[in-house]
């Protein structure tokens, strides 16, 4: 009898583990991200789609702000006019990313997609400005990093928009 109740307890316990484990492990906001390691490092196990989207966007805003400081320093030293284009496109990206945060707060999924896509395009503008003039962008590595973060923001936000 004691054995019987013990084993049925174990079965219930196992059933709970079985039911609980797959549900917990399927909440991976970075599953569709092209840069999963970068995405997971930014989200640190967050499973709520709205929170995850906000955290990813905020990380990109602060990374962009740091890049603007670098770009300004470069523009001052080298008197590079194209660097001004980069700064403006980064500023515009921040504007669009802040709008995206409002969209998450207001649960406005259509605008969220538009504003995040606009931010992603802003990050391509810097490299484009150089390549149109046949020059290699001095911001190549920064741009690539920001483009990846923006791509991840879009991927995480698709979980929210489902
Ligand atoms: C971006 O978000 C703002 C709200 O913050 C909204 O007014 C605007 O229409 C959105 N832009 C696009 C292109 O959807």
**Is residue 130 domain-resident?**
yes
Residue 44: pLDDT over 70: yes
**Is residue 117 domain-resident?**
yes
**Is residue 53 domain-resident?**
yes
8 band by pLDDT with thresholds 50, 70 and 90: low
Does 114 sit in the ligand 1 pocket, CB within 6 Å? yes
Contact 138, 74 (CB under 8 A): yes
101 CA to centre of ligand 1 in angstroms? 10
Does 101 sit in the ligand 1 pocket, CB within 6 Å? no
Atom of ligand 1 nearest to the CA of 111: 14
* Structure confidence by residue, pLDDT tens digits, 76-90: 656 778 888 888 999
CA distances from 6 to 1, 11, 104 (A): 8, 9, 48
Average the pLDDT over 44-49 and give the result: 93
What is the C-alpha to C-alpha distance for residues 86 and 126, in angstroms, rounded to an integer?
Answer: 5
Name the residue of 115, 121, 153 whose CB sits within 8 Å of the most ligand 1 atoms, as the mutation to test its pocket.
Answer: 115
The residue with greater pLDDT, 14 or 30, is 30
Number of domains in the chain: 1
Neighbours of 57 (CB within 10 A): 26
| CATH label of the domain that carries residue 113 | 1.20.140.40
**Is residue 28 domain-resident?**
no
Does 99 sit in the ligand 1 pocket, CB within 6 Å? yes
CA distances from 91 to 56, 70, 143, 148 (A): 18, 13, 13, 17
Q: What is the pLDDT of residue 22?
A: 46
**Is residue 67 domain-resident?**
yes
* Structure confidence by residue, pLDDT tens digits, 108-135: 999 999 999 999 999 999 889 989 999 8
**Is residue 142 domain-resident?**
yes
Structure tokens at 145: 């990093």
Contact 150, 60 (CB under 8 A): yes
**Is residue 6 domain-resident?**
no
Does 102 sit in the ligand 1 pocket, CB within 6 Å? yes
The whole-model pTM stands at 0.81
96 band by pLDDT with thresholds 50, 70 and 90: very high
**Is residue 108 domain-resident?**
yes
- Per the structure, the complete domain to which residue 108 belongs is given by 36-159
> b vs e for 121-149, b when ≥16 Cβ sit within 10 Å of the residue's Cβ?
bbbebbbebbeeeeeebbbeebbebbbbb
């Amino acid at each position: 009898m004691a054995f019987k109740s013990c084993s049925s307890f174990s079965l219930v316990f196992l059933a709970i583990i079985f039911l609980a484990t797959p549900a917990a492990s399927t909440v991976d906001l970075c599953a569709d991200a092209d840069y999963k390691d970068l995405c997971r490092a930014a989200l640190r196990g967050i499973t709520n789609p709205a929170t995850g989207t906000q955290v990813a966007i905020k990380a990109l805003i602060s990374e962009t702000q740091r890049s603007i400081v670098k770009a300004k320093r470069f523009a001052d030293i080298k008197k590079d006019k194209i660097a001004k284009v980069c700064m403006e496109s980064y500023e515009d990206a921040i504007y669009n990313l802040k709008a995206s945060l409002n969209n998450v707060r207001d649960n406005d999924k259509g605008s969220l997609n538009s504003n995040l896509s606009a931010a992603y395009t802003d990050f391509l503008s810097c490299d484009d400005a150089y390549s149109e003039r046949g020059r290699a962008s001095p911001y190549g590595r920064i741009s690539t990093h920001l483009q990846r973060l923006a791509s991840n923001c879009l991927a995480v936000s698709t979980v929210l928009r489902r």
